Structure 1
Amino acid sequence: MTLIDRLRHALETGPAEDAVLLTGDHVDTDPLPSALSQAAVLVPVTDRPEPGVILTRRTDMMSRHAGQVAFPGGRIDPDDTDAIAAALREAEEEIALPRDAVHVVGVADRYRTVTGFEVTPVIGVVPPDLVFTPNAAEVAAVFEVPLGFLLDSGNHIEASVEWQGRNRHYYEILWGEHRIWGATAAMIVNLSRRLRWNA
């Protein structure tokens, strides 16, 4: 079974009956705005014997989420036909990932952020060892993390912090010098529970 077939089968099969998917930051914070802005991210999985996932670290100058690790992605624009088109466009703009190099497998579970976004993760398979060119205004670094490491629940660390007077729970994943947390980590946790990679 190819990587594409394996991912597609896992997405279509769905999570185990006892799996609890994370729906958003709103679980233990203030209610979300009534009107959510739509956004999409690309989860680029490298097609190699031990697949990896391409992630970015945002620049420290970004007005939102400065310095944080994220999937390539952003707001869905009016010109985008759907979440897939938006994710591919954003990945091309942010790291120069050619749209035609991505084999889209499907979409995963949406995640709602306390900042008012509903994010659709788009799973795509890309050739290994592509050369990425970060957009200097948005991306400080591009790096790859083994898919197996990200999906291993043993690497999903539960943490909490007080934010705006409330105790906010979140997940973080540590890879070398990189700290993956917040919405990006939550979407990875959901992927782990849905894909059941080692099942």
Structure 2
Amino acid sequence: MMLRSRLAAALAPALDQAQTQDVFLYRDRPTPDGPFTPAAVLIAITDRRDPGLILTLRHGGLRAHAGQVAFPGGRLDPEDADAVAAALREAEEEIAMPRDVVDVVGRSDQFRTGTGFSIEPIVGIVPPDLALRPSEAEVDAIFEVPLDFLLDPANRALRTVEWQGGERTYYEYLWQDRRIWGVTAAMLVNLARRIEAADSNLAGTLS
């Protein structure tokens, strides 16, 4: 099945609450005061025989989430027409990914975080082996993880820790020397479940 068709099928249906409930962060924590700040990230998948997913290691000197693995992205600016425009702009600023090389397939489920952001993941396909460059102020490294690794449930773990007087539950992947966790891992689990459901539906129609 072609990569684009597979992703489009995965992004088309809405998952029910039973499937998505445990991938959202801070489910045992009070909702932040005030409105959530709109934000967007780009889930860029490379168009190769064995597709990969592009991730970044955030700069160690940033005020928030320093040294963590993340998708390129950030809050919507006034000049952004929508979440897609914001995700493409942020990817260009953070890793020098040209906006015109991204084939935007669709949008995945929004994530509302305890830090007050409502993040919309934008899924796109990009050519392999782009000459990407990390922004010195924001990104320490750019790396690619095989999509099949992230889709395999055996490679993700659900962790629970005590934090600020309550329990915090989050997903975690370990890829080589990288730890992928928090909202980034939650988005990956959500996308993996969408792809699994779409693949299962296709297999059912073909049987």
Distance in 1 between residues matched to 2:100 and 2:185, nearest whole Å? 27
Distance in 1 between residues matched to 2:15 and 2:128, nearest whole Å? 27
2:81 partner letter: T
Give the helix-richer structure, 1 or 2: 2
Distance in 1 between residues matched to 2:51 and 2:16, nearest whole Å? 23
How far is 1:130 from its partner? 0.6
Q: Is the 8 A contact 1:95 1:132 kept in 2?
A: yes
2:8 counterpart residue number: 8
Normalised TM-score (structure 1): 0.94
Report the 3-state secondary structure (helix = DSSP H, G, I; strand = E; otherwise coil) of the residue aligned with 2:26: helix
Q: Is the 8 A contact 1:54 1:143 kept in 2?
A: yes
How far is 1:10 from its partner? 1.7
How far is 1:137 from its partner? 0.5
Distance in 1 between residues matched to 2:94 and 2:105, nearest whole Å? 21
2:122 partner letter: V
Report the 3-state secondary structure (helix = DSSP H, G, I; strand = E; otherwise coil) of the residue aligned with 1:129: coil
How far is 1:154 from its partner? 1.4
138-147 or 7-16: which moved more?
7-16
Distance in 1 between residues matched to 2:70 and 2:19, nearest whole Å? 24
Q: How many residues align?
A: 199
How far is 1:32 from its partner? 2.7
Q: 1:182 to 1:188 in 2, by over 3 A?
A: same
2:35 partner letter: A
- Measured on the aligned residues, the alpha-carbon RMSD in Å equals 1.6
Report Cα offsets for 1:149-191 as digits up to 9, x if no partner: 1121111101122221111011100000000000000010111
Q: 1:78 to 1:107 in 2, by over 3 A?
A: same
1:116 partner letter: G
2:72 partner letter: P
How far is 1:145 from its partner? 0.2
184-193 or 160-169: which moved more?
160-169
1:144 partner letter: E
Normalised TM-score (structure 2): 0.91
2:148 counterpart residue number: 148
Report the 3-state secondary structure (helix = DSSP H, G, I; strand = E; otherwise coil) of the residue aligned with 1:28: coil
Identity %: 54
Distance in 1 between residues matched to 2:6 and 2:24, nearest whole Å? 27
Q: Is the 8 A contact 2:92 2:98 kept in 1?
A: yes
1:104 partner letter: V
145-154 or 174-183: which moved more?
145-154
2:163 counterpart residue number: 163
Distance in 1 between residues matched to 2:18 and 2:27, nearest whole Å? 19
Distance in 2 between residues matched to 1:192 and 1:106, nearest whole Å? 15
Give the unaligned 5+ runs of structure 2.
201-207
71-80 or 157-166: which moved more?
157-166
Q: Is the 8 A contact 1:26 1:32 kept in 2?
A: no
1:75 counterpart residue number: 75
Q: Is the 8 A contact 1:15 1:194 kept in 2?
A: yes
2:37 counterpart residue number: 37
2:173 counterpart residue number: 173
